[in-house]
Amino acid sequence: MDPEVMKLATVALIGAFGFLGPAFALGIIGYAALTGIARNPEAGGRIFTGMILIAGLAEALGIYALILGILVAMIV
């Protein structure tokens, strides 16, 4: 196989797995937050704050995967 093809396949796999995890995580976080707010509306502010914090951490994983994919595409 050509090295350029292997590099692009690696970037594709980094993107596929690196973005799939945070996407599922954000879906689960949103579902859990909405369920919690529906069960206890008075705690909506605290739940929303925690949801935003955890969503930011999950989103950071996607950004790390994006940076890694760009580095592999440009450098290797």
Q: Where are the domains of the chain?
A: 3-74
Q: Rounded mean pLDDT of 47-56?
A: 94
**Structure token pair of residue 50:** 């925690």
Residue 39 has pLDDT above 80, yes or no: yes
HEC string of 57-73?
HHHHHHHHHHHHHHHHH
Whether this model's pTM surpasses 0.75: yes
Query: With contact defined as beta carbons under 8 Å apart, do 72 and 15 qualify?
Result: no
Segment 6-35 mean pLDDT: 93
Write the class of the CATH domain 3-74: mainly alpha
What per-residue confidence (pLDDT) applies to 75? 87
The residue assigned the tokens 């440009």 is 74
Please give the share of the chain, as a percent, with pLDDT higher than 70: 99
**d(C-alpha 18, C-alpha 71), whole Å:** 14
Q: What is the pLDDT of residue 26?
A: 94
